Amino acid sequence: MTKQMQREHLVCLLLQPPAQQATSNSLVQFDMLFSSTPFWNEPQLSHWQDIQLLVPSSSSTSNKKRARFADADGCDKDDHANTMSAKQLLRVDQGQFCSLIGLGADWRLCLSIQEGELLHCFEPLKQIVEHTPGISLAKILSNYYLTARMKLVLAYIIAYSVWQYYDSDWMKTKWTSETIQFMRESNTSGEKGKLFTWKPYLSVHSNDEDPQCYEYHKAAGIVHAYPRIRALGIMLVEIGVGFPLHEDEKQAQPLAARVNSELFKAFNYAKDEKRWKDFDYPDYMSAVRHCLEPDTFDQAPYVEESSTREWKEALKQRRNILYDKVVFPLEDLLQGTKWMDDFTKIAPLDMPSKVTAIQEPTVVPEYPEERRVLNPKKKRTKNERCASEWLLRLKGFNRELAQVAPAVGLKDPSRRVRIAVLDTGYDDNAPFFFLPDVEGRLKGWKDWIDGSDQPRDLHGHGTHLVSLVLKCAPDADIYVARIAESPNKLLDSSKNVAKAISWASREWEADIISMSFGFADEQPCISDAIREAVYERKDSILFFAAASNYGANDREMFPARHDSVISIRGTNANGDFEDFNPPKSQDEVAVFGTLGLDVPSAWANSDYDEYKSGTSIATAIAAGIAGSLLGYISSHPPEKPFYNVKYRAWTRRGMLVIFRVLSSNTLKAGYLYLTTWDLIGTSEDVRWAKLGGALSEL
């Protein structure tokens, strides 16, 4: 679409994900805001005119597969066209358009091009936009904390829009964190100043065109010759790290030096792990790299002497590369996190009443104290980085299971897996528990200390464990029993543990009970509770417990050494068993260990993740892995092989045989390192044969 007018009005194009856009083979819809007067003519914006424009499509829609946002408006463009045709459409005569947008009618101006004529009608507003200038993405990032979900949805919408408009006139202007803007909205309840991070606009002047923004710009000395994908990469970095990469001081430099400086700065920030913290998603980082690397389009380079047909074919290939290397990984990541569901319900950002109160920072901004979620440590240790990467890899495995399940005929389980965590409780005010995919999964709470109806944790140990289980078993429901104020008071809590075991088995009907603690001596009441639960549940209940943190100085603790419990030891991210583990007893053929060194997760009374070590941490992770596997196993319908033996996975013998086929041998004989890595990237038949086959041999 060509944006030509005799005077320079400010135009803001709403950028939308694919499923928010009405679909039609014959029409293209643009939702825009126009300044009612030329921006150079008045110092202040007087009015935004809301405009919907329908134009005939000039080319067929790309056949690329696109994710669909679950709550997006599913109406069709033909519906819009039919609605408009049912109204009395009036022709817009030459010179009349500026008069229409200057009316200030507080109605939506609907335009349609039919048989070469521009027609119009008015409809009620679908949104109430405040008549103030937009607020740039740079200012939003400088002053406000965006959650991971906000960042990812926003990044995808912008990346998709760059791909969508890649060869259109909309790309002949700058796409930066200054030109991507957000409009303050009001609602019928009188609330004002609401900004939605999932509603970005591209702000341009009507006659704006910048040669430096053409699809290819190879000035002398410029390293990256494709400005559009380069600019997208810089914005993705800015969104990821949470602040703009200012280059104002570089304006006096030669063009090549300035462009290269911006690129290298983005590269450096992309490589700086401490800038990314809890947003270092591999798919996101891959999309960033492909935007910033100069050779991304080498398979279909721009050739200046090519014919029109050759140029169009190469342009089509470059656009396909952009989709495959950048847009699709972000789309895939959103699908895996399930953050595409109900994305329009993401809460707005509350802005100050005066936009002028927002100032550009000269240094990396600090978020308001109540909104910080990142650990202020300047640099993570190698073990901490490796543990974070390990958890991301496990997250990728769970995402893979969720993605392939529908395609291979797996069904949603009729009952979600239930995991009970017995510990010091949890602090539901920790930021982690406000994540949208967490809140609804905490299904039960029982306080055996104070009888409190509200979750609490005066220590932090339980908060860390509960959040870990939630991460490792993303489709399980979690139940929490508070059985001690702190780990040091466990010696006096054996009766609470016994009551919690019975409650978790009978009332919550838990599939897994996780106990990240231990006693030097056997506690008869706990032994009785375990035996009763196993008997009542006909062996179909799993108990996990921490082995010990005292190394060879002490034997394996109770209840880890109980014959109905799976004992767990701790390893580093490479599978090496740590020296805090107890020795394997002579009658044990094998023992299992998983990640338990410098593991990050939530903590009570803290906005930051804490890094903790020990067999208690490994126990929570092992319980989470078991929960994830049970969910996968339960999704297999009767027509699948091994259906008649899958119930065995709920027994101790069944889970141990599964752990054996998944675990790797280590340098210590009989010490097995538990991961799910062998199940990643394999076909469904191979994956299920490995697990189902193991269960069938019992």
End-to-end CA distance of the chain: 67
Q: Before 583, cis peptide (omega within 30)?
A: no
Question: Cβ distance 505 to 471 under 8 Å?
Answer: no
As beta bridge partners, residue 120 has 90, 111
Residue 408's pLDDT is 67
Lowest mean pLDDT among 343-347, 581-585, 657-661: 343-347
pLDDT score of 360 more than 80: no
This model's pTM is above 0.85: no
* Tokens at 168, concatenated: 């259109």
Give the lowest-confidence range in 15-29, 44-58, 522-536, 681-695: 15-29
The mean pLDDT of 63-70, rounded to a whole number, is 47
pLDDT at 77 over 60: no
Q: What is the pLDDT of residue 321?
A: 93
Average pLDDT, the chain: 84
Strand, helix or coil for residue 107: coil
What is the structure's pLDDT at 228? Answer: 92
CB atoms within 10 A of CB 622: 30
Helix locations, 456-523, DSSP H: 461-472, 494-506
Residue 250 phi/psi, 5° resolution? -95, 0
Give residue 89's pLDDT band: very low, low, confident or very high (50, 70, 90).
confident
In this prediction, residues 625-640 reach a mean pLDDT of: 93
Find, among 476, 471, 295, the residue nearest to 395 by Cα. Answer: 471
DSSP E strands in 57-189: the ranges are 90-91, 108-114, 117-123, 128-129, 135-136, 180-182, 185-186
d(CA 470, CA 394): 12
Query: Is the Cβ–Cβ distance between 229 and 297 less than 8 Å?
Result: yes
Judge whether residue 191 has pLDDT over 90.
no
Q: How far apart are CA 206 and CA 292, in angstroms?
A: 29
pLDDT tens digits along 436-483: 778 789 999 999 999 999 999 999 999 999 999 999 999 999 999 999
Average pLDDT over residues 623-650: 93
Distance CA 644, CA 203 (A): 60
Residue 251 has a pLDDT of 54
Helix (H) or strand (E) holding 52: strand 48-56
- The yes-or-no verdict on residue 320 having pLDDT over 90 is yes
At residue 156, does pLDDT exceed 70? yes
Q: Is the pLDDT of residue 412 over 90?
A: no
3-state SS record for 557-596: CECCCCCCEEEEEEECCCCCECCCCCCCCCCCCCEEEEEC
pLDDT, mean of residues 126-132: 85
> Environment class of residue 563 by beta-carbon count within 10 Å: exposed (0-12), middle (13-18) or buried (19+)?
exposed
Mean pLDDT, residues 543-562 taken together = 93
- Of 101-110, 132-141, 641-650, 679-688, which range is least confident? 101-110
State which H helix or E strand residue 246 sits in: none
What's the pLDDT at 94?
A: 77
**pLDDT-based confidence at residue 24 (cuts at 50, 70, 90):** low
What is the pLDDT averaged over residues 40-48?
58
pLDDT at 513: 99
pLDDT range class, residue 675, cuts 50, 70, 90: very high
pLDDT attached to residue 41: 42
